[in-house]
Amino acid sequence: MTQHWAFFKEGDHSFGIFYPRHYIIAGYRTLADAEAAEAAFRKEGFPPEDVRAATGEFVIGQLEAHHGQSWLERMEARLVEFAGTETGYLREDADLARDGGAFLFAYAPDDARLNQARRVFAQHSPAYARRYLPIAIERIVENAHAP
């Protein structure tokens, strides 16, 4: 069954797909890099309860898993996949996790928090970062460490 992480203030799924509304997800090559970014977010003023690093294994195996969905949840997920972007992002996350990567989650419900996040990313550059808005996903950092 899909695990719901109490860390997310506004829930972590929409239409059966992992979708943590108002959160930034940043992918890092190592857990140490994600944890360094987490410390920098706190130094930048993010409360400890609003930022968290996690292993790729946890994110893919627990948060983004689709085990035990009902028929309706599977249909909703297929609709979202048909519409597009979330599925590509899930694949991007899975690829990073398979390569030993880790993730950072930061609650950014407004532009002030987004600007703070951009300052951290300038010093602790992720492979990618995106913010989940109510009706769109905003790319913040794209392919920073592309081969």
CA pair distance 81, 32, nearest whole angstrom: 32
CB 100 within 8 A of CB 1: no
Q: Report the predicted TM-score, pTM, of the whole model to 2 decimal places.
A: 0.76
When pLDDT is cut at 50, 70 and 90, the band that residue 84 belongs to is very low
Question: For 124, which DSSP code?
Answer: S
Does some domain include residue 100?
yes
In which band, very low, low, confident or very high, does the pLDDT at 11 lie, cut at 50, 70 and 90? low
Question: Does residue 4 belong to any structural domain of this protein?
Answer: no
Q: Where is pLDDT greater, at 128 or 92?
A: 128
Q: Among 21, 22, 23, 1, which Cα is nearest to 13's?
A: 21
Do residues 141 and 37 touch, judged by C-beta distance below 8 A? no
| Rounded CA separation 123/41 (Å) | 11
Residue 146 lies inside a defined structural domain of this protein: no
Q: Quote the domain boundaries for residue 124.
A: 13-141
Residue 147 in any domain: the answer is: no
DSSP string for residues in 24-77? EEEEESSHHHHHHHHHHHHHTT--GGGEEEEEHHHIIIIIS--TT--HHHHHHH
Q: How many domains does the chain have?
A: 1
Does 67 reside within a domain?
yes
In whole angstroms, what is the distance from residue 63 CA to residue 116 CA? Answer: 26
Report pLDDT digits (tens) over 14-46: 445 567 889 899 999 999 999 999 999 999 999
Say yes or no to pLDDT of 80 above 50: no
Residue linked to tokens 């893919």: 60
Number of H helices, E strands in the chain: 5, 7
What's the pLDDT tens digit per position in 117-141?
999 999 999 999 999 888 788 899 8
Structure-token match 């090559």, residue found: 29
